[in-house]
Structure 1
Amino acid sequence: MLAKPEDVVDRDREWGLLTEFVTDPDPAMRLGIMSGRRRHGKSYLLQALSDRVGGLYVTAVREEGRLPAIQRFSDAIATHAGLRPGTLRLTDWREVLSNALDVTARSQTPLLVILCGSAMSVMHELLSGTKPLRGRAVIDLRLGAFDYRASRAFWQIDNPLVALQVHAVLGGAPGYRPVAARPHPNDGFASWLTRTLLDPGRAVYSRTETEYLLREDPRITHHTLYYDILTAIAQGASTPTKIGAALERQRNAVTHPLGVLESTSYIQREQDILRPRHPVITLADPVIRFNQLITLPQAAIVEQGFAEEAWQVAAPTFNSKILAPHFEDLARAFTRRYAHTLLPDGLPGPVGTTEVADPAARTKHEVDVIALALGERPQAPRVRIALLGEAKATAARRGTGDLQRLERIRTLLTDQGYDTTGTTLALFSLHGFYPDLVESAAGREDLLLVDLATLYGVG
């Protein structure tokens, strides 16, 4: 395997897959597809791979006309073959690719082509149905964001709380660091935020960035409709019917746009892990979520240069509608990826959320984190439950009352026929735990306390 360059952070699995692709001695022409959201580092990774193997990397320009694009690509092939730019005068893409094949054949090396793009629908359709490339691609790599721990390391943020806050507004897209720079330890999150996502002069200004993101997919043509849908979801509409009602439209009028937004990972549908219910629709892209909840409602004063004042007004919304659900997301991510080192049975199975009825109290309990045992299927009857968790991003520490609530939920699930004999109870807290709860956890094998240090693996 080719050694990964030191400046390529994380991406070990992706680098291994790509280097296996380019070092395979098979002489036949091979094709790879890479897709991923804007600023996920696709170009950076492929440029590093190309440099490592002496390949040719060419960037497409959307606004460029057909003939200039062909000529620029032809010049790139000529230069790569040791010829002067302008040597190849071609007018058809078939001729261009044929010449690329000829250049490769003279070098006695197999032709390897990796097509890469951010327009997810376009990239996915390349291999669908009756498309000519269907069945010809060796790899179909979808490059995701860094996970929250890798993101903190990449941004070099020492304070886990600041790392969480930055991740809540930018996610794990590595391409934001060069245009936003990391928060200075002496400034804090609020000062950094007003200089970046709330500064109309910055490339990372959330209104500008959201517009770029929505333009990435050619299916998004009626921008007003899509913005309205995103705003409705941001304000709490969580089903197609509720979203349609918020827009004063029929449910079927928003079905296609919701499908587009889900395929681009700008929204997500979360299924109850225990019971078949309508999935809950939420905003998945942190920048879009921040834009719809914070920037747009305050746009008038933000664009007049009053970012600090806008943030003071919007901070409560940030804490309740962005930071709190994001902390719950990371609690589930921790359970999927890291909790196996702390759980008695090791790696859990599917992780998600659920809602548990409490007939005696005439209420329902929302469970922030639930993990089934490894091998169990979601919504199957009488499944084994590995973990029940509550994640709270409030300023208060968690105490025995939170533990008692989880114990009550575990009892209810036992009464409903679920296997809870090996269930671990987990409390996730942004600001730690009261001493009596810590003391209780020290004497119990079924109780896990996860603070920010544990969440980020630094304590």
Structure 2
Amino acid sequence: MSPSDATTLPARPDRIFDRAEEWTDLARFVCDPRPGTTLALVSGQRRQGKTVLLEALSQATGGFYFDGQAAAEAESLRRLAERFAEHTGADRPPHWHHWDEAAEALLALGDERPTAVIIDDFPELVGHSPALSSLLHGAFLRVHQERPHNRARLILSGASPAVIRRLFAGPSSLHGLASLEVAVRPFGFRKAARFWGIRAPRLAVQVHAVVGGTPAYRGDLVCDDAPAGPDDFDAWICRTVLNPRVPLFWEARHLLEQEGDYADRALCHSVLVAIAGGRSTPGGIADRLGASLHDVSHVLAAMRHHGLLHDEADAFRPGLTRYRIAEPLLAFEHAIAWPHRAALEQEETAEVWRRIRPDFDATVAAPHFAQLCREWVTRYAAWDTFGGAVHTAVRGTVPDPEGDTRLDAEVVVRGTADGRPGALLSVGLVRWNEAMDVPHLARLRRILALVTAAGEDTGRTVLTCYSGVGFGPELRAAEAKGEVLLVGADRLYHGE
């Protein structure tokens, strides 16, 4: 047991839903009694609860907390000095002219005992004081070397992990000094359902397809308005995400504006509309927009770098890369709200939603349900569900020479081989609004025959059907014979 394990850690406040692992890691870091100045980095996209977590940690441990804001250096130093005086009980704030003075004073808070020194939204400060990272790096090393008894627990927070690493790279790398990195991510779909108080799996999928697992969307942006039940979903959509009087209505367009500096915002929005509409490859997106592949690829790379897009290789064609929108609210905006903005502004919201509801099922709920199925495979499915440890679960496409078409399998599961994707464990079809039966099993068998002919080892491959509404009696009979595995929405949320 380490010294930090022997220390009693502060209890996580009841107002913080979940985040048990993040709280324990940070509390153990702050309360570690061993001598030596230490550094932790906390990252995560906006609205995930970093600030709530860090403020609560500061209060629970008697630490110092400062929220960075985009402001001139002198203004930031003045605010920091005022907060420092409040924390120390000084009669008046110190008058710091430079960041190195402030850094020395903040780290000195750990001279007597382990003390959290938390600077939230650190990148906002660096934006107006580019030398701040290097200055803090130097102050940290001086205290570490000259006052080895110091136990300042410096925590810097902000942005995505990629931005944090880029910010702290270089000769004076704070990243290299960090002994702890904590990423505050959106809740997984099961935790998100509990957070929203939703028990009906199909309703949980629908809500997650709109707001994902971002906790602030329930509290701050819809004033705790959750669907009362499956029959309330349509009304909930109209009174929240499609209601201009509710902050959630405006949130999606802010996401793109605050995640990096893009030269062509119009092209970014167009790319997102294309992806939300089903064009997921760079060539397909460029064709839809009438833009050059070079320009589209540049925008895709930038948005991927900032965490707005995920890219995945096709299960059967590794050279084919598909993109999907990382944030469900951004996907909903560009698939539903953006194309119908004029109608939503001029007509009754309920009437517009009634007309475009099929578009939601086809372009938002269906692909989102498929993604949740892939996540279930990698995060929740038991080892014996597919007969081995899962390495990846992605889409796959195979050419069918008989029909001169391509057949899609939404969930292609591979096991591990020397740490890389290996054996083909499963090939699956996903249908959100369609009861599945033997024709779907026949399609799966055709796909399996094609990949077998292409050289895949399919001796252990499980054929799987995933449905949001259920399965027909003949398919159930096939499952009883061991010919197919059936996974419904209820199993996604409650089973292995």
C-alpha contact (below 8 Å) 1:120/1:263 kept by paired residues: no
- 1:391 corresponds to: 430
Structure 1 position 213, deviation (Å): 1.0
Determine the structure 2 residue equivalent to 1:78.
85
Q: Does 1:417 pair with 2:455?
A: yes
Q: Deviation of residue 98 (structure 1)?
A: 1.1
Q: What residue number does 1:189 align with?
A: 233
Q: 1:105 matched to which residue of 2?
A: 111
Contact 1:39-1:176 at 8 Å conserved across structures: yes
Deviation at 1:131, TM superposition (A): 4.6
Question: What is the one-letter code of the residue matched to 1:351?
Answer: A
Is residue 277 of structure 1 aligned with residue 319 of structure 2?
A: yes
1:146 pairs with 2:187: yes
Summarize the Cα distance change of 1:120–1:215 in structure 2 as closer, same or farther, 3 Å threshold.
farther
1:200 aligns with 2:244: yes
One-letter identity of the residue aligned with 2:164: M
Change (3 A) 1:316 1:131: farther
Give a deviation string over 1:139-176, Cα, whole Å, max 9, x none.
Answer: 23332211100100111012211111010011111111
| Pairwise CA distance, 1:6 | 3.4
In 2, the alpha carbon distance for the partners of 1:66 and 1:187 equals 52
Once the two structures are TM-superposed, the CA of residue 210 in structure 1 deviates from its matched residue by 2.2
8 Å contact from structure 1 (residues 243, 254) kept in 2: yes
Question: What amino acid maps onto 1:183 in structure 2?
Answer: P
- TM-score normalised by L of structure 1: 0.90
- SS of 2:441's equivalent in the other structure is helix
Equivalent in the alignment of 2:16: 8
Structure 1 distance, partners of 2:347, 2:41, is: 43
1:393 deviates by 0.6
Q: Is the 8 A contact 1:33 1:115 kept in 2?
A: yes
Assess, with a 3 A threshold, how the Cα gap between structure 1 residues 91 and 203 changes in structure 2: closer, same or farther: same
TM-score by length of structure 2 reads 0.84
> Which residue matches 2:270?
228
Residue 215 (structure 1) aligned with residue 257 (structure 2): yes
Q: Aligned partners of 1:149, 1:346: CA distance in 2, in Å?
A: 23
1:452 is aligned to: 489
The answer for unaligned runs of 5 or more in structure 2 is: 116-150
Equivalent residue, structure 1, for 2:129: none
Q: Counterpart of 1:195 in structure 2: which amino acid?
A: R
Whether 1:329 and 2:374 are equivalent positions in the alignment is: no
**Alpha-carbon distance in structure 1 between the residues aligned to 2:389 and 2:76:** 50
Deviations 1:420-453 (A, max 9, x none): 2222221111111112222331232x53211111
**In 2: Cα distance, 1:247 partner to 1:426 partner:** 35
In 2, Cα distance between equivalents of 1:412 and 1:237: 24
Q: Confirm or deny that 1:46 pairs with 2:54.
A: yes
Q: Taking structure 1 as reference, are residues 366 and 244 closer, same or farther at Cα in structure 2, changes over 3 Å only? A: closer
Is 1:56 aligned to 2:64, yes or no? yes
Contact map agreement 1:349 1:376 (CA 8 A) in 2: no
Question: 1:311 Cα deviation (Å)?
Answer: 0.8
Paired residue secondary structure (1:317): helix
CA distance in 1, matches of 2:166, 2:342: 40
Residue identity opposite 2:331 in structure 1: R
Aligned-partner Cα distance in 2 for 1:95–1:133? 18
Matching residue of 2:95: 89
Pairwise CA distance, 1:361:
4.3
Aligned residue runs from structure 1 range 18-33, under 5 A = 18-33=26-41
1:356 alignment counterpart: 398
- Contact between 1:155 and 1:177, CA under 8 Å: does it hold in 2? yes
* 1:212 counterpart SS class: helix
How many pairs does the alignment contain? 450
For structure 1, the residue ranges without an aligned partner over 5 or more in a row are none
Identity %: 32
**Separation in 1, partners of 2:461, 2:363:** 29
Aligned equivalents of 2:90 and 2:448: distance in 1? 72
